[in-house]
Amino acid sequence: MIFSFRSGRAIVAPLLFVSVSVFGAPTATLVSAPLLTLDQAVRLALENNQDVKVEAYNPLIARANVLTAEGQFDPALNFSRSYSSSVTDPINSDIVLPTLVKTDNYSLTLAGLLPTGLTYTIGGSAENQRGTYNNFAGDYVTFGGVNLTQPLLRGFGFAANLVNVRVAQANRSISKWQYRQTLIDTVTNVIVAYNQLVLAHAELRIAERYRDLGARLLTESRQRIKAGSGAQNDVITAQSQVASREEAILEAENSLRSTDNQLRLLVGEKSFPPDQPLLTVESPPVPAAAVDPAKDFQEALNRRPDYQQARLGITVNRANSAAGSVLHRPSVHSRNRSPASRRPVTFSSIGSSSPPPIAWVMTFRCGCVSVSASVMLPSSSSSCTRLWSRVS
């Protein structure tokens, strides 16, 4: 019987132990395989464990989510070009032929968002309109400028605009700690299963030795019967004890096989035939450890994945809470707007009986530069509802 590990080395069962039962019938015992150390078992488990392989992708996915969240602040370079043509029918008797108008539009802008909430657009546009009225001569109208819009209350500051980045970064760290937790669990399970297999081998050896002592006692009782100094009752009692100890050996062998299969499952084995050789293990050395309660407690907190995940969860909750408090503010924007005006802005409410938000826009213009401030208040309160009813 051959048992092959992933590393390519075969474990061959060279030894076959045969014992003789108390009734004279030979029975074959379990087959042993070459030695498997604890370090080899841990390495095979980390290489073949499916949970470890799946969990290893989560930090990469979380890193991609961080790049996606940070990408909202990357500037976007946009270029567009459109063409349209229209035919105008004559509207009086002086124009006999219809008018054909062709229009080309070009636009190039650089737009983006800053962490403070400021949106900017830098660029220009050009329009070339020509037709039969000017013998299709080029007539270009160009525009270039900068448009800046900065929220002053709602949407202002790093809390509202960096919430996705902060949450994504925290989730990336959480995914790393989750991967570390998977590794710790895998190694811990292998160590526990390995030591349980060492214990199962020891229990089987103890059961076999205990059976051998009973068989020796049975042999001595039979010899005393032949010598005429023993009683038949002693022989029957010794036979009962040997049978009971044979049952204990069967139970120990079954437990050993089950523990062996558990360790094989952890190291990545897929099949468990009943006649495969048992893994041969050795008692791992006990590492020497110096105990310092205060230092060890802090070290445990720094290395515990569940504790670190809980701390990062608090960071996520704080980021969401800070962003939510900003969203409850009234909307106030400072932006360029033309022409100069000061007037209330009305909104239509379609299919809803609730009043829309109330907004005011104030614009100041100096030369070719105009700056405007807009204020928007939610209309969910009762006072705003009565005001909306009066306006209606």
**Residues of the chain where predicted confidence (pLDDT) is lower than 70:** 1-32, 90-97, 332-392
Give the residue numbers spanning the domain of 125.
73-157
Residue 334 and residue 384 in one domain: yes
Do 288 and 178 fall within a single domain? yes
pLDDT per residue as tens digits for the range 94-136? 556 678 889 999 999 999 999 999 999 999 999 999 888 788 8
Residue where a domain stops, chosen among 130, 157, 184: 157
Q: Are strands 369-377 and 358-366 parallel, antiparallel or unpaired?
A: antiparallel
On whether both 198 and 230 belong to a single domain, the answer is yes
Nearest to 335 by CA among 358, 359, 365, 312: 365
**Three-class SS of residue 34?**
strand
Q: What is the rounded CA–CA span in Å between residue 170 and residue 122? A: 34
**Same domain, residue pair 222 and 143:** no
User: Same structural domain for residues 47 and 183?
Assistant: yes
Residues 252 and 284 occupy one common structural domain: yes
Q: What is the pLDDT of residues 193-232, one digit of tens each?
A: 999 999 999 999 999 999 999 999 989 888 888 888 878 8
Inside any domain, residue 39: yes
Residues 6+ apart with CB under 8 A from 298: none
The answer on 171 and 109 residing in a single domain is no
| 53 domain-assigned | yes
User: Is the domain of 44 the same as that of 90?
Assistant: no
Looking up tokens 């029975």 gives 27
* Same domain for 110 and 21: no
Same domain? 384 vs 352 = yes
Residue 305 belongs to a domain: no
Verify that 124 and 262 share a domain, yes or no. no
Domain with residue 170: its CATH number is 1.20.1600.10
Residue 6: its pLDDT value, please? 36
